[in-house]
């Protein structure tokens, strides 16, 4: 499957569509392609085999398609996905067709083996073990490659076998992130839903007011009720029978008071049923948050504003936030929806707790996130040298923090800001590869750091001088989370006490 000319050759399972890869740790495991799908590695091998069969050098093919040899090499190695127009040009130069190059099967048994080894190297096992990737040379015999692959698969199997029940949510989250990455985190069907609702209530432009949100609720047949006894495990409760949405009288200073209303309405608009598993639950949450942001920052207006900012080379999360009167986190999230699909800018996003733990993450710019052996990113610790951590050491909390970070995957620029919540402080960061920083405010920053993670010498191991002095003289008492050994929450909605919710609805239901 190939998308329109303006995008890269995207497929849901592509090698690039693995769970994000960034500053530290392992990258999510690249899912195996389906029988009728092609990934970047297979496509690259088909191009290489066709070129060699035609007796062409890399330089000759590059010259024929008017591209640098390094670009062709990246395509053949599965590190870059050509646009459809370029793919057609390559096919013409090789005397074949784009359809032939996009066949999902490997061009030979040897190529299939090389692809499998390459995919394994890009997965979480190699990164978790700190193994450097190697070039699969022609001189390596099949038995060597098969042995490497067998060892990799056995380690991967053992990791999965040891995984406890709570890992179901982490697996589901990794799969959803891979899907988001393959789609550049852009969902046209949700954009259409948002535009339809805004049109229905007569939104004429500008920030979406609280009154307009209330009009949306009324339009959909719901009334809003603010109460002081909302179940502690919920942000809102919807009474579908009586058309009521219950909300807390006290709002968190870190949250936009419109968001809980829109999230409740989003579930109604999208026809969500009670989730049957964690995958359903997490997908519903992603769709709900996306639709909420698409309503608060309408696509047409947001793209127009961001396009103008790009032309002026002054894209700013703070200015996007202020222009649409939303929270910084909502603005950053929304930017990830539109950056690649509408502005052709690859991007990554991180929400990191002050402890260094990743709460949320997304990328499609080849930055390397830390992850465990299952490809899960949330819950892992980000490198101390990355922008999402260094921002906590900045005294000026009013101004945005900009930083360049040199990593094994390249140089990335990030803008980050500290937000507060009841769980403590957390940073919200948006970043891009070095070649795209030219579109952003803050590109002139002198702040720069180097991240060598997952190499322990980067930041995970204490300096020798300190370790030598305190290693045998310290005994910290760890703050153990109460949920560390707890089983998964029971009930349809994880973490929600259904009895408490039902008792609440019974107490507040209209009488007579």
Q: Which residue has the higher pLDDT, 257 or 372?
A: 257
Q: How far is CA 59 from CA 64, 69, 71, 83, 91, in A?
A: 9, 6, 11, 20, 16
What are the b/e assignments for 89-117, b being 16+ CB within 10 Å? bbbebbebebeebbeeebbeeebebbbbb
- How far, in Å, are 124, 254, 305, 443 from residue 298 at the CA level? 37, 22, 11, 27
The answer to whether 392 touches 419, Cβ cutoff 8 Å, is: no
Confidence at residue 129, expressed as pLDDT on a 0 to 100 scale: 79
Query: Largest Cα–Cα distance in the chain?
Result: 85
Confidence band, pLDDT 50/70/90 cuts, at residue 3:
very low
**Which tokens go with 270?**
């999208």
- Coil, helix or strand for 501? helix
Q: What pLDDT score was predicted for residue 495?
A: 64
What share of the chain in percent tops pLDDT 70?
85
Mean pLDDT over 166-192 rounds to: 87
Q: Has residue 386 got a pLDDT over 60?
A: yes
Band (pLDDT 50/70/90 cuts) for residue 235 is confident
Average pLDDT over residues 106-132: 85
The whole-number pLDDT of residue 1 equals: 30
Q: What is the mean pLDDT of residues 271-291?
A: 88
User: Does the pLDDT of residue 23 top 90, yes or no?
Assistant: no
pLDDT band at 489 (very low <50, low <70, confident <90, very high): very low
Q: Calculate ∠ Cα 21-23-24, nearest 5°.
A: 85
Average pLDDT (407-425) is 90
Q: Is the pLDDT of residue 14 over 50?
A: no
What average pLDDT does the chain have? 84
Q: What percent of the chain has pLDDT over 90?
A: 47
Residue-wise pLDDT for 159-170, tens only, equals: 665 544 456 777
Full strand arrangement of the beta sheet holding 358-363: 358-363, 348-353, 424-433, 410-421, 401-407, 448-450
* In the predicted structure, residue 276 carries a pLDDT above the cut 80: no
Domain boundaries, the chain: 40-163, 173-450
- Which pLDDT does position 458 carry in this prediction? 87
Domain 40-163: which CATH number of 2.60.40.10, 3.40.120.10, 1.10.260.40, 3.40.630.10? 1.10.260.40
Give the whole-angstrom CA distance, residue 169 versus residue 147.
32
Tell me the pLDDT tens digit for each residue of 66-112: 999 999 999 988 888 888 889 999 999 999 999 999 988 888 888 88
501 pLDDT band, cuts 50/70/90, is confident
Residue 478 has pLDDT above 70, yes or no: no
Mean pLDDT of 243-255: 80
């Amino acid at each position: 499957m190939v998308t329109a000319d303006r995008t890269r050759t995207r497929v849901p399972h592509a090698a690039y569509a693995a769970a994000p890869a960034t500053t530290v740790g392992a990258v999510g495991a690249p899912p195996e392609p389906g029988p009728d799908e092609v990934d970047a590695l297979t496509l690259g091998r088909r191009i290489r085999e066709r070129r060699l069969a035609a007796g062409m050098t890399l330089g000759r093919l590059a010259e024929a398609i008017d591209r640098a040899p390094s670009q062709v090499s990246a395509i053949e190695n599965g590190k870059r996905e050509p646009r459809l127009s370029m793919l057609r040009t390559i096919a013409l130069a090789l005397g074949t067709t784009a359809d032939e190059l996009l066949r999902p099967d490997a061009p030979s048994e040897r190529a299939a083996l090389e692809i499998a080894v390459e995919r394994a190297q890009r997965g979480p096992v190699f990164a978790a073990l700190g193994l450097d990737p190697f070039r699969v040379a022609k001189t390596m015999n099949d038995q060597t490659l098969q042995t490497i692959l067998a060892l990799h698969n056995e380690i991967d199997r053992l990791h999965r076998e040891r995984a406890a029940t709570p890992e179901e949510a982490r697996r589901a989250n990794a799969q959803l992130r891979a899907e988001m990455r393959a789609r550049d985190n852009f969902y046209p069907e949700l954009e259409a839903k948002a535009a339809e609702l805004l049109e229905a209530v007569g939104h004429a432009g500008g920030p979406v007011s609280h009154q307009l949100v209330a009009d949306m609720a009324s339009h959909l047949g719901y009334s809003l009720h603010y109460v002081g006894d909302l179940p502690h495990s919920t942000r809102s409760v919807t009474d579908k029978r009586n058309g009521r949405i219950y909300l807390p009288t006290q709002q968190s200073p870190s949250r936009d008071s419109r968001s809980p209303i829109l999230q409740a309405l989003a579930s109604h608009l999208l026809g969500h049923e009670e989730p049957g598993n964690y995958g359903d639950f997490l997908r519903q949450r992603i769709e709900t948050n996306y639709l909420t942001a698409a309503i608060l920052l309408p696509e047409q207006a947001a793209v127009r504003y961001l396009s103008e900012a790009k032309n002026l080379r002054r894209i700013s999360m703070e200015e996007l936030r202020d222009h649409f009167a939303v929270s910084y986190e909502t603005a950053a999230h929304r930017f990830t929806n539109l950056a690649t699909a509408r502005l052709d800018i690859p991007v990554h996003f991180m929400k990191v707790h002050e402890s260094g733990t990743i709460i949320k993450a997304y990328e499609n710019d080849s930055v390397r996130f830390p992850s465990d052996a299952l490809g899960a990113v949330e819950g892992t610790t980000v490198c101390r040298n990355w922008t999402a951590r260094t921002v906590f050491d900045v005294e000026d909390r009013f101004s945005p923090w900009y930083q360049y970070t040199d990593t094994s995957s390249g140089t990335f620029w990030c803008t980050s800001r500290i937000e507060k919540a009841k769980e403590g402080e957390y940073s919200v960061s948006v970043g891009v590869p070095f070649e795209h920083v030219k579109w952003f405010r803050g590109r002139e920053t002198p702040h720069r750091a180097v991240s060598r993670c997952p190499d322990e010498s980067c930041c995970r191991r204490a300096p020798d001088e300190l370790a030598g002095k305190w290693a045998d003289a310290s005994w910290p008492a760890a703050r153990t989370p109460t949920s560390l050994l707890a089983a998964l929450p029971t009930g349809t909605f994880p973490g929600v006490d259904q009895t408490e919710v039902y008792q609440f609805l019974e107490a507040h239901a209209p009488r007579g």
